[in-house]
Chains A and B, each alone.
Chain A
Amino acid sequence: MMETKIAIESDINNLSLIESKVDELIVQIGITKEEYGRILVATMEAVNNAIVHGNGGDRNKRVNICFAQQDDNFMVQVRDQGVGFNPDCVPDPTSPENIEKLRGRGVFLMKNLADEIDYNKNGNEVLMKFKIEKIGAKNLL
């Protein structure tokens, strides 16, 4: 069982810290390029949403991220200090009236990239689970 926790201020510039952390963990674990892409994009969407929408860019509010891996499961938990949202009420970005809209795909992508996704009752914490195939560090990326 591997577990890593990070807390960041709600500043969009901190996204690169999370990206570096994902890269670092992925090197340690050794997973395929395809899995890396899914985990990276879904994680960045979740953290971006937490900073911008959850915490409203308020630097006094933090985003807590927890990465965990056990056997063939990789988990990413992202929690913000906002009031939360109802993920079931997010408009479908693939519907004809929304498909060409410039925004509103983050939550949809997270749902489709993760193998499982759960929100807490308040809607300010998301847990994404990814099935991974460990290939060993030597075959990386």
Chain B
Amino acid sequence: MDFNIESKKNSTLIQVQTEKLDTHVAPALKSELVLVSGKGEKNIILDLSECEYCDSSGLSAILVANRLCKNAGGTFVLCGLNDAVERLITISQLDTVLNITESVPDAEKMIS
């Protein structure tokens, strides 16, 4: 299983459990995000602390999550960024449009 999905009090936490968030994994993550959102969840936390690397398809999945939450009137928070992933987010300037925290508890605080 590439993802761990956990219902929290005010949100759903999705933890990506692969080293790389790339073209092999991103489509399945997008499907999971659509399913979670489709069940009525408007606040999603995406924890990438186990991901060492990410490519443009991974960024695309992250933006899908952001769009789904935004369209539902909720909040999307990305957390647990390792160096290479954070660098890619920064290069792409997605840090200007995404909510990013260091940890899951920080993300939960942002949503509550």
Contact = CB atoms under 8 A, between A and B. Distances in A.
Interface of A: 12, 15-16, 33-34, 37-38, 40-41, 44-45, 48, 93-94, 99-103, 105-106, 108-109, 112-113
Interface stretch (B4-12, B42-50, B52-60): B52-60
B84 A37 contact: yes
A16 B57 CA distance: 15
B15 interface: no
Given A12-B23, A102-B63, A109-B92, 14 more contacts: A15-B24, A33-B52, A34-B84, A37-B53, A48-B57, A94-B93, A99-B97, A102-B64, A103-B56, A105-B60, A106-B56, A108-B92, A109-B55, A112-B91
Contacts of B55: 41, 44-45, 109
Contacts of A101: 63
B75 interface: no
B54 to A, nearest CB: 8
Given A44-B55, A45-B55, A102 B24 contact: no
A41 B22 CA distance: 9
A101 B60 CA distance: 8
Contact of B59 (A12, A16, A44, A105): A105
B53 A105 contact: no
B96 interface: yes
Given A41-B88, A44-B23, A100-B67, A105 B93 contact: no
Contacts of B97: 99-100
A140 to B, nearest CB: 14
Contacts of A102: 60, 63-64, 67
B1 to A, nearest CB: 19
Contacts of B93: 94, 99
B88 A109 contact: yes
